Amino acid sequence: MAAVLMVSADLELAELLTHFITEACSLVEARYGALGVLNPTRTALDQFLTVGLTDDEERRIGARPTGRGVLGLVITDPEPLRLDDLHSHPDSYGFPPHHPPMSSFLGVPLRVRGEVYGNLYLTDKVRGEAFNDEDEAMAEALALAAGVAIENTRLNDTARLVGLLDERDRIARDLHDRVIQRIFSVGMALQAAARLPGPPEVLDRVSKAVGDLDDTIDEIRTAIFELEDGLNERGLRRSVLDLALELAPLLGTRPEVIFVGPVDSTVSRQAADHLVAVLREALTNAGKHAQATHYLVKVAVGEEVRLEVTDNGCGMEIPVAESNGLGLANLRHRAEKLGGTLEFAVPTGGGTQLVWSVPI
């Protein structure tokens, strides 16, 4: 059959499925046909294509069915269903206004290797009789081919996505192994040149160029991490940066933020939520008590995810910090809940450092 041969043709899925419906109507002499593609959870129709209705009828009927009534029976119980009069069925939901009358009904699932992708619906035998066993067999054959077409399309979409991710990984590796290394080599050469005798203005320009190269390396590393972070539109990295900006008025300055490793693609959603809550509490406490002028936030990923919050403030006695003072008991509880730890230290030059870490 022509519709079956089209499975291997380069056609859009909706166009291909419409050919299947048309072929099915022709084979079983049905006046109307429709094909519903199930959503990923198989609870309702995600796509609904029809044959036999005029453009004006389609427009007046309005919204497509979502899978209630008799149509829903083939979703909840994916087995062939034949009715002489669909209006007489106890689950009949009725038709919306402007819908043409329909009586006889044949519905079959689009099943491939036990996986149901949708349903094929046929109504109204042209000569008025009911659908028979032969009609059901032909409809099932076309439904199988339509299911294969849907499966192939989804597999191809998955393959394209995998290819896209592979290409992004390749770009990230090239940026790290080639581009960064070359920039680093140039920076080393400039640093060596800066130690040679020469006019002060030249040495200043060389030093500035070295600083610009360092900034460029940081920007490239951020781009690499964003490539590695997958499709997560708002990950841990974005949440930490947004929080630093939000708390800047309380702190009197915007914290410096450093990321090490593929933060978004490695840290679980649960750990990320806890980390952001800990960071909020830590910065809020520091803003109220530390009298600091500089704050450093570092999020690093290795065998664990590690959050360091360091300030240059008046500091605190470690025994007091390690007690449950300043509302820090909740921070320790969040770490222990994930099998991690909460520690405090006094950095060189004074101030306070909070280190919160949990295993990946």
CATH code, domain with 60 = 3.30.450.40
Give the DSSP letter of residue 343: E
Q: Model confidence at 59, in pLDDT bands (50, 70, 90)? A: confident
Each residue's pLDDT tens digit, 83-102? 888 777 766 666 767 778 88
pLDDT of residue 279: 92
Among 158, 173, 188, residue at a domain's last position: 158
CA distance 245 to 256: 10
CA distance 68 to 48: 13
User: Residue 321, by phi and psi: left (phi above 0), alpha (psi -120 to 50) or beta?
Assistant: alpha
- Say yes or no: 122 and 262 in one domain: no
40 and 152 inside one domain = yes
* pLDDT (tens digit per residue) in 189-242: 777 777 777 777 777 777 777 777 777 776 676 666 655 554 344 578 888 888
pTM of the model: 0.45
139 found inside a domain: yes
Task: Indicate whether 212 belongs to any domain.
Answer: no
Which tokens sit at 249? Answer: 């008025």
- The pLDDT assigned to 33 comes to 92
At 308, the pLDDT band (50, 70, 90 cuts) reads very high
End-to-end CA, the chain: 55
User: What length is written for the chain?
Assistant: 360
Q: CATH no. for residue 274?
A: 3.30.565.10
Same domain, 114 and 256: no
Would you say residue 328 lies in a domain? yes
Higher-confidence position of 316 and 346 = 346
Residues linked to residue 112 through DSSP beta bridges, in sequence order:
115
> Looking at the structure, do residues 329 and 239 belong to the same domain, yes or no?
yes
Q: Specify if 196 maps to a domain.
A: no
H helix or E strand, kind and range, residue 20? helix 13-28
- Among residues 136, 158, 180, the one where a domain terminates is 158
pLDDT tens sequence across 25-42: 999 999 999 898 887 666
Give the pLDDT of residue 287.
Answer: 86
Pair 132, 263 in one domain: no
Kindly state whether residues 8 and 138 are assigned to the same domain.
Answer: yes
- Please, what is the angle between helix 329-337 and helix 269-289, to 10°? 160
pLDDT band, very low/low/confident/very high, at 319 (cuts 50, 70, 90): very low
Same domain? 140 vs 260: no
The secondary structure of 100-152 as a DSSP string is PP---EEEEEEEETTEEEEEEEEEEETTS----HHHHHHHHHHHHHHHHHHHH
Considering the domain boundaries, does residue 97 fall inside one?
Answer: yes
Q: Is residue 120 part of a domain?
A: yes
- The answer to whether the Cα torsion of 20, 26, 28, 29 is positive or negative is positive
Same domain? 22 vs 111? yes
- Rounded mean pLDDT of 319-348? 74
Residue 322's SS3 state is helix
**Enclosing domain of residue 91:** 2-158
Look at residues 158, 184, 205 and tell me which one is the last residue of a structural domain: 158
Interval 46-71 mean pLDDT: 77
Looking at the structure, do residues 12 and 151 belong to the same domain, yes or no?
Answer: yes
Report d(CA 345, CA 353) in Å as an integer: 5
Sequence-distant contacts of 152-156: CB under 8 A, at least 24 apart: 152/7, 153/13
**Does 149 map to a domain?**
yes
Q: Under a CB-based contact definition with an 8 Å cutoff, are residues 287 and 247 in contact?
A: yes
pLDDT in tens, 113-169: 778 888 899 999 888 788 999 999 998 888 888 888 888 877 777 667 666 666 666
So what's the pLDDT on residue 42? 67
Residue where the block lists tokens 């036999």:
52
Higher pLDDT among residues 279 and 320, named by residue: 279
Predicted pLDDT of residue 30: 92
**CA 67 – CA 74 distance, rounded (Å):** 9
Q: What is the pLDDT of residue 69?
A: 65
User: DSSP 3-state helix, strand, coil percentages of the chain (rounded to 5)?
Assistant: 55, 20, 30
User: In this structure, are 282 and 142 located in the same domain?
Assistant: no
Note whether 150 and 286 are same-domain residues: no
What is the rounded CA–CA span in Å between residue 97 and residue 61? 6
Provide the number of structural domains found in the chain: 2
Is 166 domain-assigned?
Answer: no
Strand 115-125: give its sheet, edge to edge. 45-51, 30-38, 115-125, 105-112, 81-83
pLDDT given at position 3: 44
- Where residue 92 falls (left for φ over 0; alpha for ψ -120 to 50; beta otherwise) is beta
Residues 150 and 240 in one domain: no
